[in-house]
Structure 1
Amino acid sequence: MEKLINSLKKLGLSRYEAQAYIGLNEIITGQANEIAEISSIPRSRIYDILKGLEEKGFVEVERGRPLKYKAIHPTTIINDEKEKLIEELNNTENKLKEIYNKDLSEIQAPVWLIHSQDNIIKREVEIIKKSRRKITIRIGFLLEDEGRAMLKAFNEISRDVEIRIIANPICYINDKKIDIIDLFKKSRLNNLEIIAAELPMMKLLISDEKELFGTFAHFTGEKDSIIPETAVGVDNKYKDICQNFDKHFIKQFEQLKSMK
C-alpha cells in the first residue's frame, strides 16, 4: 500500500488524496462518508480532498443529495499521466538542447566540440553577431547554406565591424559546386574584403581576437567534395591562440592584397 501511495504522490496527489483514490477504487462509487471510512481519512477533511481529486481528474462527481463520487478508471489516469510526462520530458529535452547549443559562450571551458552541420552554422552565426570590431575568416570550404547564413549575419551587424576573408575560389559539397568568392563579392558589403588563395580544406573564423571557431570535415573524390555529416566544429577561447592566429591571418591577408 505504501508503494502505491508513493507512486500516486509522484502523479501530483497528496497522501490523503492518494488514500482516497485507492479507497474509492475498492468501491468504485460512494458517498463522502463511505470514502472517508474505507480510506481512513478524517471526515472533516474528506470533502476538500475529494474536491482536489476532482480538479486533478481522478474522480467524477454525480450531483445530487448526497453527492456521489466515482473513480476514474486507473488505465485512463495512467495513460493520461504518461502522455503528460512524455510531453514534459520532450519539451524539457528540446529546451535544454536549445540552451546547450545557444549559450555555449557562457560555459567556462575554453575549448569544446560542436557536432552536426546545423549546429556548426548556428554557432558561427552567433559568433558573428557578437563581433564588435573585426572578423577574420579562412574559408577552405563551405557547408550547404553556410555562406547565405554568414551573409545574413554580416548584414545584421554594424558596418563598423571589419570583415576580412581569405578563401578558396570554389569548393564542392556532396559534389555540388559552390563559388565561394563570387558568393561573398555579390553581397557588396562595404566593410567586407575577400581575397582568393589556395587553402587547406578547413575553415577558421576569428572574432575580435577573442574567439576562434574552426570547422573540419572529411572529403572525398578528385574534387575533394565535403561529406557534411562528418563536419565537426571546435570552439576555442584561449586568448593567446586567438590573437596568434589573427596576427598570422592579417599578415597573410596584406601579403595577398599587395600581390593583386
Structure 2
Amino acid sequence: MNDDRPDERDVEEALERLGLSNYEARVFVALHRLGTATAKDVHDLAGVPRSQVYGAAEDLEERGLVELQQSTPKRYRPVSLEAAKELLTARLERERDRAFDSLAELRREEHGEETRDDVWTVRGRKPINDRTVDLIRRAETRILFGAASVDLLSDDVITALREQAAAGVDVNVVSENDAVRNLFTRDADIGVAAPPADSPGDFTGRVVLADDDIFLLSALYEGDGAEATEETAIWSAGTAMASVLTRAAGSGIEAIVGRAESDP
C-alpha cells in the first residue's frame, strides 16, 4: 500500500472549490483513474448513482473537460490534466472579473462612506498600504508620515509622498529607523527627522497626519496565520473625529516638523 497516494476526497474538494459540483468532481476523478469508462464503470468505482453519472459527465463534456464517445453504451474519457487546468483557471478568472466588475458598479462614490464621524479599522499590509496612499494623496497642505521600518514603506507609499512634495505639499518623514530616513535624504523637498527624545520608544507601525483632518495609525502584532507579523490600522478623514485626533497631536507635529526643517 502506498501511503503517499493523495486522498481522493481532498482532490474532489479541491475541484469543487474550482467550480465543479460534487458529482462532477467525483466523476472527473474516477475518469482519471479509469482512463476511458462507461457510466457503470464510474458508478462502480466512485459510488455515484448511475443516473447522476450521465448528468455530471454531460456537464463535464459541455465544460470541455470530458470527451464523449457516441457508442452503446456511451463511453467517457477525461481531457489531459494540462487542458483541464487551463480550462478551470480561465473559468475562475472569468468569474473573478465578473464579480469585481459588478462590485465596481455597485460601489458607492469614492469617499461616500465617510459621511459620519467614524474611525475606521483596516487589517492587512496591502489594504493598509492602499489606504495610506489614498490619505497621502488627499492632503492639500501638509503631511507628516512616520514608520518604524522600511517594511512599512511600499513603493506606492514612497511615490505618493514624493509626488505630493513635488506638488507643493509640505511633506515630512519621521522615524527612529536610519533606513527609513535614508530613503528620503536626497529628496530636497521632503523634510526628514528622528522623533523627539521623549517620544515613546515602542512604536511599531506607521502614522499619517495630514492637513487638519486626516489621520492613520497602525500597529504590528504577532499573528497566528500565514503572516508571522500582522498589521492593523485605524483611520479617519474629513470628520470631526479626525480633526480631534490631528489637533491632539498638533504640538508634537509642530515640534517634529520644526526639527526636520532645521536639520541640514
Please report the TM-score for the alignment, with normalisation by the length of structure 2.
0.51
Q: Does 1:247 align with 2:250?
A: yes
Matching residue of 1:216: 219
Q: Which runs of 5+ in 2 are unaligned?
A: 1-56, 65-87
Which amino acid is the alignment partner of residue 59 of structure 2?
T
Quickly say closer, same or farther: Cα 1:122–1:161, change in 2 above 3 A: same
Give CA-to-partner distance per residue, 1:169-220, whole Å, 9 cap, x none.
Answer: 34xxxxxxxx11111213x232x11111365223210222222111110269
Which amino acid is the alignment partner of residue 75 of structure 1?
D
SS at match of 2:212: coil
SS at match of 2:254: helix
SS at match of 1:160: coil
In 2: Cα distance, 1:164 partner to 1:77 partner: 61
In 1: Cα distance, 2:175 partner to 2:113 partner: 30
CA contact (8 A) 2:129 2:154 kept: no
Q: Does 1:140 align with 2:148?
A: yes
Which amino acid is the alignment partner of residue 208 of structure 2?
L
Matching residue of 1:150: 157
Choose 245-254 or 98-107, whichever is displaced more. Answer: 98-107
Alignment of 1:220-239 (within 5 A): 229-237=229-237, 238-239=241-242
Which amino acid is the alignment partner of residue 185 of structure 1?
T
Matching residue of 2:122: 114
SS at match of 1:106: coil
Quickly say closer, same or farther: Cα 1:255–1:205, change in 2 above 3 A: same
Q: Which runs of 5+ in 1 are unaligned?
A: 1-72, 171-178, 221-226
Quickly say closer, same or farther: Cα 1:165–1:156, change in 2 above 3 A: closer
CA contact (8 A) 1:209 1:246 kept: no
CA contact (8 A) 2:172 2:257 kept: no
The share of aligned pairs that are identical, in percent, is 9
Matching residue of 2:207: 204
Give CA-to-partner distance per residue, 1:4-59, whole Å, 9 cap, x none.
Answer: xxxxxxxxxxxxxxxxxxxxxxxxxxxxxxxxxxxxxxxxxxxxxxxxxxxxxxxx
Give CA-to-partner distance per residue, 1:206-248, whole Å, 9 cap, x none.
Answer: 222222111110269xxxxxx7741112222323324314513
CA contact (8 A) 2:213 2:242 kept: yes
**Paired positions, count:** 170
Quickly say closer, same or farther: Cα 1:75–1:181, change in 2 above 3 A: closer
In 2: Cα distance, 1:99 partner to 1:153 partner: 26
In 2: Cα distance, 1:102 partner to 1:258 partner: 40
CA contact (8 A) 1:147 1:183 kept: no
CA contact (8 A) 1:101 1:123 kept: no
In 2: Cα distance, 1:136 partner to 1:231 partner: 20
CA contact (8 A) 1:114 1:120 kept: yes
Which amino acid is the alignment partner of residue 221 of structure 2?
H
Match of 2:138 among 130, 136, 147: 130
Q: Does 1:166 align with 2:174?
A: yes
In 1: Cα distance, 2:93 partner to 2:257 partner: 55
Which amino acid is the alignment partner of residue 215 of structure 1?
S
Which amino acid is the alignment partner of residue 134 of structure 2?
E
Task: Look at both structures and tell me which one has the larger radius of gyration over its CA atoms.
Answer: 1
Deviation, structure 1 residue 258: 8.8
Deviation, structure 1 residue 136: 1.2
In 2: Cα distance, 1:138 partner to 1:76 partner: 55
Quickly say closer, same or farther: Cα 1:140–1:87, change in 2 above 3 A: closer
Quickly say closer, same or farther: Cα 1:130–1:232, change in 2 above 3 A: same
Deviation, structure 1 residue 140: 2.8
Deviation, structure 1 residue 167: 1.2
In 2: Cα distance, 1:213 partner to 1:101 partner: 23
In 2: Cα distance, 1:185 partner to 1:214 partner: 24
